[in-house]
Amino acid sequence: MSAPCQQPAAPPAASAPPLTPAPATRRPAVDWRIRFAALSLIWGFSFLLIKVGTQGFAPFQVTLGRLLAGTAVLAVAMAMRRERLPRSARTWGHITVAAFFLNALPFSLFSYAELTIPSTLAGICNATSPLWGMALSVVALSEDRPTRRRVAGLGVGFLGVLTVLGAWQGFSGLDLPGTGMALLASFSYAVGWIYVRRTLAGTGSSTLTLTGSQLFIGTLQLAVVTPVFTSAPDTFPLLPTLSVLALGALGTGLAVLLQYGLVQEVGPTTGQMVTYFIPVIATAAGVALLGEQLTWNTPVGAVIVLAGAALTQSRPSATTAARTGTAGDRTKRLSRT
């Protein structure tokens, strides 16, 4: 990819590395709004597909199948565009770490989490990634200093998490291990994106190349782990098999290409807005198609989480930034007198 965007977006269900706009070569045949809607639906339904997949396969098998299908889609795209793989051993080392935190670990955690928690709750936990990213970026990224608005967003977001989890009821009826794994998966996304931003910016490789390489390495990681913890499936039930293939080919392959094109055309700020539609679609899909129960605190808490996430991603306007810079220069001059 080209250099990651300066603002860590909420890692989506496919968790490709951060994207930056590139000069467009020709106008796409399909309007960007239609592609934006398709991307929202694909990633929103990913949590339903995970739930269905785990009804026929072990969680590690779901993740391995997902990565295999996603890698195949991106490999075809790379071949068609004649993309070259990275040549630096150092770059491959960084890709290996990124694949673990952005693919192998969170994908597996979500699969295990959805053995015991609804897909609706998993989708909402995924939306906490900007909150984790905001908290971590203060420590890891020197240029990402918090503003009052972003700190307020962090507080609002975690208040939303407590609302979703029903903290005032002592978390009664909540599967704590499953919920914890879903939140840890979201945290892993944030760690991975910050790592990518610090290590893979300016490598000279395209977004598609780095993302495809990352999925390939993630597939190898799961290919090593899966036989150790699971045995080969005796059967391949139709619906779970189709769910895993769709999860990989669409949610982990095609969706990355859609996001890549969106960022090229409308920029990273608009492109990352898809994140805020994911929990809404995941909740609607889980309730309508899987019959999952929904109490009042789940949608209310989700709205609070998304509001907090939006605040953490906000940046001061050019006027405010200029005013702040002028005030800072004045302070420096006074301190020297």
More confident residue, 102 or 331: 102
Kindly tell me if the per-residue pLDDT of 334 is higher than 90. Answer: no
The number of helix segments (H) and strand segments (E) in the chain equals 15, 0
Sorted by sequence, the CB contacts under 8 Å of residue 240 that are 6+ apart come out as: 52, 53, 54, 55, 56, 57
More confident residue, 158 or 48: 48
Output the CA angle 88-94-98, nearest 5 degrees: 140
Cα dist from 311 to 134, 151, 160, 266, 315, whole Å: 10, 8, 13, 21, 9
148-170: string of b/e by CB count within 10 Å (b at 16+)? eebeebbebbbbbbebbbbeeee
Categorize the per-residue pLDDT at 27 as very low, low, confident or very high, splitting at 50, 70 and 90: low
Report the alpha-carbon distance of residue 187 to residue 24 in Å, rounded: 33
Q: Residue 246 has which token pair?
A: 């769709």
Q: Residue 238 has which token pair?
A: 């139709």
Kindly tell me if the per-residue pLDDT of 299 is higher than 70. Answer: yes
Kindly tell me if the per-residue pLDDT of 16 is higher than 60. Answer: no
Report the alpha-carbon distance of residue 242 to residue 247 in Å, rounded: 8
For the segment 189-248, what is each residue's pLDDT rounded down to a tens digit? 999 988 998 898 778 888 899 999 999 999 999 999 999 999 999 999 999 999 999 999
CA 180, 182, 188, 193 dihedral sign is negative
Kindly tell me if the per-residue pLDDT of 331 is higher than 70. Answer: no
Report the alpha-carbon distance of residue 21 to residue 33 in Å, rounded: 17
The pLDDT of residue 237: 97
The pLDDT of residue 144: 62
Question: Residue 302 CB: number of other CB atoms within 10 A?
Answer: 23
Average pLDDT of the residues of the chain = 84
The pTM assigned to this predicted structure is: 0.84
The pLDDT of residue 315: 63
Cα dist from 282 to 63, 121, 168, whole Å: 19, 9, 25
Report the alpha-carbon distance of residue 11 to residue 274 in Å, rounded: 10
DSSP 296: T
CB 185 within 8 A of CB 73: no
More confident residue, 16 or 255: 255
